Amino acid sequence: LAKTTQPISMDSYEGQEVNITCSHNNIATNDYITWYQQFPSQGPRFIIQGYKTKVTNEVASLFIPADRKSSTLSLPRVSLSDTAVYYCLVGDISNQGGKLIFGQGTELSVKP
């Protein structure tokens, strides 16, 4: 199973774009890259998922280079409410008995 490495914490200010990079050097061919967001005292919430190149939805963008050994979650113009822990997950859930494998995540703090 691919191990992920991401920064433990990041600080930003309201209105800025935030990019959180995740390294996953031993990603397998069938693995997808998924990002979850977790607010204090709540369960994680799915943000975005991708396999390669770029994926964009109403919340974020996910950039994946051709070698797929890293990925970057981009949050445009963050607000105070984006303060949360962001988890990068890599795997083929259909081959993992439904198991999502979470690392320690990146604690994002957005300041006014």
Partner 1 sequence: ETGVTQSPTHLIKTRGQQVTLRCSSQSGHNTVSWYQQALGQGPQFIFQYYREEENGRGNFPPRFSGLQFPNYSSELNVNALELDDSALYLCASSLAEGRDEQFFGPGTRLTVL
CB of residue 16 to partner 1, shortest distance in Å: 25
Choose between 10 and 93: whose C-beta lies nearer to partner 1.
93
101 binds partner 1 (CB under 8 A): yes
43 binds partner 1 (CB under 8 A): yes
Burial class (CB in 10 A: 0-12, 13-18, 19+), 41: exposed
**Residue whose structure tokens are 């890293």:** 70
CA-closest candidate to residue 4, choices 92, 90, 86: 90
63 in Cβ contact with 74 (< 8 Å): yes
- Contact with partner 1 (CB under 8 A) among 49, 61, 72, 83: 49
- Residues near partner 1 (CB under 8 A) are 32, 34, 41-46, 49, 87, 92-105
